[in-house]
Amino acid sequence: MACTAGGGEVSAQDQSLLTVQDLHVSFPGRGWRAQPKEVLKGINLDVRPGETLGLVGESGSGKTTIGRAILGLAPVASGSIRFDGEEIVHANPRRRRELARDIQVIFQDPYTSLNPSLTIGDTLSEPLLAQGLSRDEARSHVAELLTSVNLPADAADRLPREFSGGQRQRVAIARALAIKPRLIVCDEPVSALDLTTQRTVLDLLLKIQRETGVALLFISHDLAVVRAMSHRVAVIHRGLIVEFGQADVVTSDPTDPYTQRLLLAAPVPNPAKQRERRAELEKVRERERAMQAAAGAEAGR
């Protein structure tokens, strides 16, 4: 059994809710006759019911593309994405709309992810009305959603511009929760927020997960945030998963040089320890350069 971020447990034998196998995604190259650029090069991962899988990597590593492929927003060249046992790579638009009931998303930027011309109440009511609720039922449910994310009831009558970034992101969380999904793709949900607000939003996500049992695919470039949120962690580098395991192991004693670099690059408040980290980081980089040189020499033979 593995301890969860919320203090519960997730069995290794639990059937996966989401399974990604040998996923390849390519985008058209720039210019005439340019070759397609392969962004994902055979991704394998899974998310279990009620757990948080942290997906961490640098900008451009392909982590956001994985989330977009799961949501049907990125072109899958080959591979499989199964949700609750169902293959969804080639789901038609109608089935995608149905899947939205079970798979929701929280985007990175709280300033652009909400329609500025709609009140918060209208934004939260929209998916509820689409699912067949009456306006009175939707209004009642919106009040419950606002309470669940610690926003006042009168927030329903206000526009997004009247809220701070952290409050807008709480609205985005409420919207994702509106139709009780089983999985939420969280794409850098706190990277645009200050540190204090980040902590508030992360604590809210953990609280909601404990109360609802929703599974989270938590995408981030920040290893410390991923460590705080996740049961398991997958590390992605240049379109490949280079390390995958229990969060406490991957984020404290990684075996892959890239994960070691991510860990050592994170700043610490102690100047002496920071100097030690910089020295160790340079050693890791030297080992990587030596490995790359050896691999190049072997390929040239």
Confidence of residue 110 (pLDDT cuts 50, 70, 90): confident
Give the pLDDT mean for 146-171: 93
Residue 7, pLDDT > 70, answer: no
Average pLDDT estimate for 9-28:
80
pLDDT bin (cut points 50, 70, 90) of residue 268 is low
pLDDT value of residue 6 = 41
Per-residue pLDDT averaged across 53-70, rounded?
96
- Whether pLDDT at 156 is above 80: yes
Q: What percent of the chain has pLDDT above 70?
A: 92
User: Which pLDDT score is estimated for 125?
Assistant: 95
Mean pLDDT (whole number) for 225-250:
96
- pLDDT for residue 280 is more than 90: no
Q: Which is it for the CA torsion 169, 174, 175, 181, positive or negative?
A: positive
pLDDT in tens, 180-200: 999 999 999 998 888 888 999
Q: Say if residue 32's pLDDT is above 90.
A: no
**pLDDT value for 298:** 72
Q: So what's the pLDDT on residue 5?
A: 55
**Residue 6 vs residue 242, higher pLDDT:** 242
If you average pLDDT over every residue of the chain, what do you get? 88
Examine the pLDDT at 4 and tell me if it is beyond 70: no
pLDDT digits (tens, 9 = 90+) for 111-132: 888 999 999 999 999 989 988 8
Question: For 69-81, what is the mean pLDDT?
Answer: 96
Tell me what the mean pLDDT of segment 221-247 comes to. Answer: 95
Residue 139 has pLDDT above 60, yes or no: yes
- Pick the more confident residue, 215 or 130: 215
Which pLDDT score, from 0 to 100, does residue 271 have? Answer: 74
Percent of the chain scored above 90 by pLDDT?
A: 69
Q: What number is the average pLDDT over the span 160-172?
A: 93
pLDDT of 24 higher than 70? yes
